[in-house]
Structure 1
Amino acid sequence: MASSLCANCSRLLREFAANLRNICRKFEQKVRDIFRELCECTCLRITPERSILRRRTQVSQSLHLLYEDDSRLLSQDGLRAVGRLSASENTDLQMTAAVYYLHVSHRLKSHLPDDYMEPVMALLLSTDLNVQKTISLALVNLLAKNNVCKDLVIDMGMLVPILELFQSGDAAAQCHSCACVAMLASSESNRDVIMVDGIIPLLALAKSYEPQLQLNATWALLHLTQSDWSARLLCEAGAIPVLVLLLQSSDSEVQFCSCSALRNIADVQEHHPRLLSIGGHYLLKSLLTLMSSSVQKNSAQACRCLQALSKNVVIQEQLMELDCVLPLKTLLKTSTAAFTEPAVTLLSALSAHPPNNDVLVGEGLLDEIGQLLHHQRSSTAIITHSCVIITNLCSSCVGQQAVMESRCLSGLLQALRSPALSDDTMLHLASCLHHLMTWDLLRSKLSTAITAEQVSGLVKLSGQIKNPPLSFNCAAIVSKLQMTDEIAGMLRPHYVTMSQYLLLFLKKEDVKFQQLGIVTIFTLKTDGDFSSLLVDSELELQLRKMHLQTEETRRLLQMIHPL
């Protein structure tokens, strides 16, 4: 076919094609030269090692894709990938696996399958400290959220590399591993294993100047003091001086953990000589200082520790010498029962030792107890120990006068109306009131202060035959009330109820109950209404029966009297 182009256009097209071929040859030569230089560089040489690394990088990239989808966190593909990465000798790939576990530890809301624990062991054994730090932090998170079984961690032998991290010299690695040990030690079944190689390193780390590391080590020591056997080993290894020094820490959490550990140790009296072996009453002084802390949980815990130590009379005497009453009275004024209870418990223990009583009365303790009983926040424990303190301190004339001048009596009567008191607490309350009524002055004041509602409550409790001690003490209080017109008016509505429990008292084999019944009837007969009720009643018949039995007993005794 003939060309439709003119001669000039044909010429121009031929020149363009020739120039294009020339440009392409030059470009091809330049590209060939660039690729030749690139191939000569080791970066792009294709070797078997490079091929393996490329495949591992692909695995790593696929693992990172799982981060975006929580539902795929624990897939079989993920398990295979993390298994290959953790088994690699390349620390970058190991770090990828460790970071994956760290991600899982933050996002996981369920139990981590046991199969996933094998790679964790491999990563803990890594030669790279950064990998070990990352995986130990992940393990801390998993243990804290109970995503893994503590016993399984021990059974797999992970404790060995965890403890080895103590010697790493890296504060972060030590901190993470120490936190792991603390959480593992919270399981009683693991403590024996940890004690074998962990005591000395933990004591060393507890003296660290790194605050978080010191806290984690003290936390672990606290868990280890929760069993008698491990606490004994800790004492033998020299833990007590370390824990006592930690009471002076600037970190309030360290103070709390060390104080709690010392309290656990103090619960076993055989450890008291070691606790007191530090000269100058250093432990007691430190605890008293901590008791004045602005951190209330620390002051309460110091008080509990002192209460455990106060079972020892020698320690009680030393506490009194160190003027422990003032900070204890301060704690009684706190607004939270959880902090008041330890103080009143310790004061209860101190009041049980008679030589302390004059000092306690002189310090105005009964005034504070009276105020405490009037507060609505008074718990069962506060009421119980307040009753013990009042009973102990009113054993002297000075104590009786202090009770008279304080609000203790009205506080005890008010406590009678406290809702849902246990029988044990009510027994302490009734026993204390009964004890106070053995003194004429206190009896007169209590008879004047008692209300109709409180009398009704005492009568009701007197009929609790299933609880003989409570029934006896409440009935004894009623029997000792001075039979004024006002008291008689309060008792009249309850004469029928009282006759019923008095009849049961007279029928009991226990002479103590019989005597109380007779004394009560004698007191009530001063009121004509009760005398009328008594005539020809079953209660009067029982009294006559007892009289005949007594006469028979007297006659028989007279028979043997010449002997």
Structure 2
Amino acid sequence: MSFVTEDVTMASGLCGKCTQLLNVLSAYLRRTCRELEQNIKEFIKEVARCTCLRRAASDTLQRRRTHDLSLLHHLYDGDETPVLNQECLQALSRLAASEDSDLQRAAAMCYLHLSHHLESPLPDAFMEPFMALLLSTDLDVQKTISLSLVNLLVKKNVCKELVIEMGMLAPLLEMFQSGDPTAQCHSCACVAVLASSESNREAIVADGIIPLLVLAKSYDPKVQQNAAWALLNLTQSDWSTRILCQVGAIPVLVLLLQSSDSEVQFYSCSALCNIAAVQEHHPKLLSIGSHFLLKSLLTLMSSSVQKNSAQACRCLQSLSKNVLIQEQLMELDCTSPLKAQLNSSTSSWTESAITLLSTLSAHSPNNEVLVGEGLLDVIGQLLHHHSSNSAIITHSCTIITNLCSSCMGQQAVMESQCLSGLLSVLVSPLMSEETLLCVTSCLHHLMTRDSLKSNLSAAITSEQVSGLVKLSGETANPQLSYNSAAIISKLQMNGEIIQLLRPHYMAVSAYLLPFLKKQDVSFQQLGIVTILNLKKDGEFSALLAGSELETQLWKVHAQTEETRRLLQMIQLLSPSPLNPSLTQ
């Protein structure tokens, strides 16, 4: 007893006898306390050996567990959305924190049930038990809770950013190494959904890329699917795509194109499509020997799975912006599978193929092969079968314009249905001005070729002439007006064309007058050329005589003469050092 010792020491004024007595008392108290402490320990040991208290504690714990399980059992009754209150949260927390795997499993099953039936966001507080369950030593618990997390994430019942903030990524990534395909599948699906959030990608890229690439090589198709899905989501950002390319994701994704699973093919092809959209990655994409990527994409393009075929075509389209890749594609005979895809009854397939062919036709060395493969025959048929599809029509116009630059191409246009197809689009009621602009531009280009001009003049109908006249008066779109009027100006004025144009002479005069009044010389010249062509018909000449159109024509003539006179005066001056060509 230290306090007695202190008193004895402090009471230094006591006599020797009193000091001795106090020391005896102090020793007695210390001995007594030690004996009491020992007796208490012996008592506790004896009580602990008795089963009644252990049974009582066990009964209390069992009653609490029974209560918790009974409480959670009500969540399983019916399909109605459960009421999540504080008592329910406490029960889940206790079961999740238990060392009993059966109780943890019950909590995990409860969350799985919630993930199927919950229609509203899960309160943030209910996310706390997830961490304990993900860290469980029981693999079944981990598989169940990770599946419930997938469901909640997909249904947007939980916040993806909160999952990362709570540190759940680490145990999810650890499950990748479990060796159990189901656990890998569920955890990888969680990571895939989390990777769809821009703010989460940094954390996933830091620790998850290499594990994802490992799982992408799994023999289990479901695991491969989710790994490829996660990699696809990581290619949604330029910076994360760059890191993927640096750590060797491209060879893995290219190999996945060979998978027998169509979903794996789609995810990997979509990821490669995102990578190919950035030209700086093209060297790495093409570094795999023997044109392996291009061959794989061409094979996938022939897939019976529509979305895979279309996606492969989009990927090739991104790559084909590189002329070197175009040459390699032509060497691999890409025209045949593309033509086959053009004949598909599905518009999306056709659009993907014709977009790529449009790009290939822009490179003139490819044109001879494209014409020789009969591409224009297919394009002509497309214009008739897809007369309301703007994308197909626009790319068809581009291809026709590019391929008719050679005599061989012009001959192929004449022998195909391209001319009649283009003319039929003119009277389609569903065409936008933008699409009509492409069509009229293509027709105008064709009319500059004498052989094609003759064929087009022979093929045009009364309805199509009416359509061109109407478009020529389109004041809101000057370029569309110009293209349409230019086509009319080049029609061969034979008996049939004259009969088609005569009912429209007043309308033609109505748009020619503004043309002549424009300051734009190209419109003035087009007006003069049109009048010159139409005057081959005496009826138009009679209509022109004395009209306002003729008056304006003479004004343009006078202006032109004045301009010519002024230019002649300039030429008479001494040469200017700034423009010596005036003397030439």
- Give the TM-score normalised by the residue count of structure 1: 0.89
Specify the alignment match of 1:301 in structure 2: 311
- The residue type equivalent to 1:516 in the other structure is L
Q: Deviations over 1:455-484 (max 9, x none)?
A: 111111112222222111111111111112
Runs of 4+ in 1 over 6 A off after TM superposition: 40-44
Measure, in 2, the Cα distance between the counterparts of 1:452 and 1:409: 15
Aligned residues: 524
Q: Contact between 2:387 and 2:425, CA under 8 Å: does it hold in 1?
A: no
Q: Where does 1:262-301 land on structure 2 (aligned, <5 Å)?
A: 262-301=272-311
Specify the alignment match of 1:83 in structure 2: 93
Measure, in 2, the Cα distance between the counterparts of 1:100 and 1:417: 63
Q: Where does 1:143-182 land on structure 2 (aligned, <5 Å)?
A: 143-182=153-192
1:59 aligns with 2:68: yes
Q: Where does 1:427-438 land on structure 2 (aligned, <5 Å)?
A: 427-438=437-448
Question: Where does structure 1 lack aligned partners over 5 or more consecutive residues?
Answer: 1-39
Q: Deviations over 1:516-558 (max 9, x none)?
A: 1110111122223322332333322221211111111111112
* Cα offset, 1:421, TM superposition: 1.8
Counting aligned pairs with the same residue, the percent is: 72
Q: Contact between 1:287 and 1:306, CA under 8 Å: does it hold in 2?
A: yes
1:348 aligns with 2:354: no
Q: Contact between 1:205 and 1:217, CA under 8 Å: does it hold in 2?
A: yes
Helix, strand or coil: the match of 1:561? Answer: helix
Aligned-residue CA RMSD (Å):
1.9
Q: Deviations over 1:487-532 (max 9, x none)?
A: 2222223222222221222222221111111101111222233223
Question: Where does structure 2 lack aligned partners over 5 or more consecutive residues?
Answer: 1-48, 575-584
Measure, in 2, the Cα distance between the counterparts of 1:93 and 1:44: 23
Q: Contact between 1:178 and 1:216, CA under 8 Å: does it hold in 2?
A: yes
Measure, in 2, the Cα distance between the counterparts of 1:425 and 1:232: 37
Q: Contact between 1:73 and 1:104, CA under 8 Å: does it hold in 2?
A: no
Specify the alignment match of 2:55 in structure 1: 46
Measure, in 1, the Cα distance between the counterparts of 2:53 and 2:266: 60
- The residue type equivalent to 1:415 in the other structure is V
Measure, in 1, the Cα distance between the counterparts of 2:417 and 2:525: 32
* Cα offset, 1:443, TM superposition: 0.6
Q: Deviations over 1:324-377 (max 9, x none)?
A: 111111101111111111111111111111111111111111111111111147
Match of 2:500 among 473, 490, 503: 490
Measure, in 2, the Cα distance between the counterparts of 1:308 and 1:43: 78
Measure, in 2, the Cα distance between the counterparts of 1:43 and 1:474: 103
Q: Where does 1:458-473 land on structure 2 (aligned, <5 Å)?
A: 458-473=468-483
1:357 aligns with 2:367: yes
Specify the alignment match of 1:20 in structure 2: none
Measure, in 2, the Cα distance between the counterparts of 1:488 and 1:49: 107
Q: Contact between 1:66 and 1:78, CA under 8 Å: does it hold in 2?
A: no
Measure, in 2, the Cα distance between the counterparts of 1:120 and 1:393: 63
Helix, strand or coil: the match of 1:85? Answer: helix
* Cα offset, 1:43, TM superposition: 12
Measure, in 2, the Cα distance between the counterparts of 1:345 and 1:468: 27
Specify the alignment match of 1:72 in structure 2: 82
1:203–1:463 distance in 2 versus 1, CA, 3 Å: same
Measure, in 2, the Cα distance between the counterparts of 1:301 and 1:506: 50
1:355–1:186 distance in 2 versus 1, CA, 3 Å: same
Q: Contact between 1:336 and 1:377, CA under 8 Å: does it hold in 2?
A: no
Q: Contact between 2:387 and 2:393, CA under 8 Å: does it hold in 1?
A: no
1:231 aligns with 2:210: no
Specify the alignment match of 1:369 in structure 2: 379
- The residue type equivalent to 1:201 in the other structure is P
* Cα offset, 1:71, TM superposition: 4.4
Q: Deviations over 1:307-333 (max 9, x none)?
A: 111001001101111111111111011
* Cα offset, 1:41, TM superposition: 12
Q: Deviations over 1:383-428 (max 9, x none)?
A: 1111111111110001101111111111111122233222222111
Specify the alignment match of 2:429 in structure 1: 419
Match of 2:122 among 78, 88, 112: 112
Specify the alignment match of 2:35 in structure 1: none
Measure, in 1, the Cα distance between the counterparts of 2:504 and 2:154: 60
* Cα offset, 1:44, TM superposition: 11
Q: Where does 1:521-532 land on structure 2 (aligned, <5 Å)?
A: 521-532=531-542
Q: Deviations over 1:213-237 (max 9, x none)?
A: 0110001111111221111111111
Larger deviation, residues 384-393 vs 530-539: 530-539
Specify the alignment match of 1:15 in structure 2: none
Match of 1:448 among 445, 458, 479: 458
Helix, strand or coil: the match of 1:434? Answer: helix
* Cα offset, 1:49, TM superposition: 4.2
Q: Contact between 1:372 and 1:378, CA under 8 Å: does it hold in 2?
A: no
Larger deviation, residues 62-71 vs 551-560: 62-71
Specify the alignment match of 1:33 in structure 2: none
1:199 aligns with 2:209: yes
Measure, in 2, the Cα distance between the counterparts of 1:364 and 1:289: 21
Specify the alignment match of 1:133 in structure 2: 143
Larger deviation, residues 398-407 vs 224-233: 224-233
Q: Where does 1:473-512 land on structure 2 (aligned, <5 Å)?
A: 473-512=483-522
Measure, in 2, the Cα distance between the counterparts of 1:333 and 1:160: 50
Measure, in 1, the Cα distance between the counterparts of 2:142 and 2:52: 30
Measure, in 2, the Cα distance between the counterparts of 1:43 and 1:484: 118
- The residue type equivalent to 1:114 in the other structure is D
Specify the alignment match of 1:95 in structure 2: 105
Measure, in 2, the Cα distance between the counterparts of 1:524 and 1:48: 110
- The residue type equivalent to 1:149 in the other structure is C
- Give the TM-score normalised by the residue count of structure 2: 0.86
Q: Contact between 2:387 and 2:428, CA under 8 Å: does it hold in 1?
A: no
Measure, in 1, the Cα distance between the counterparts of 2:224 and 2:50: 52
Q: Deviations over 1:139-167 (max 9, x none)?
A: 11111112222222223222222222212
- The residue type equivalent to 1:512 in the other structure is S
Larger deviation, residues 330-339 vs 107-116: 107-116
Specify the alignment match of 2:337 in structure 1: 327
Helix, strand or coil: the match of 1:374? Answer: helix
Helix, strand or coil: the match of 1:323? Answer: coil
Q: Contact between 2:81 and 2:118, CA under 8 Å: does it hold in 1?
A: no
Q: Where does 1:392-403 land on structure 2 (aligned, <5 Å)?
A: 392-403=402-413
Specify the alignment match of 2:21 in structure 1: none
* Cα offset, 1:300, TM superposition: 1.8
Q: Deviations over 1:9-62 (max 9, x none)?
A: xxxxxxxxxxxxxxxxxxxxxxxxxxxxxxx99799614245223312221122
- The residue type equivalent to 2:168 in the other structure is M
Q: Contact between 2:81 and 2:117, CA under 8 Å: does it hold in 1?
A: no
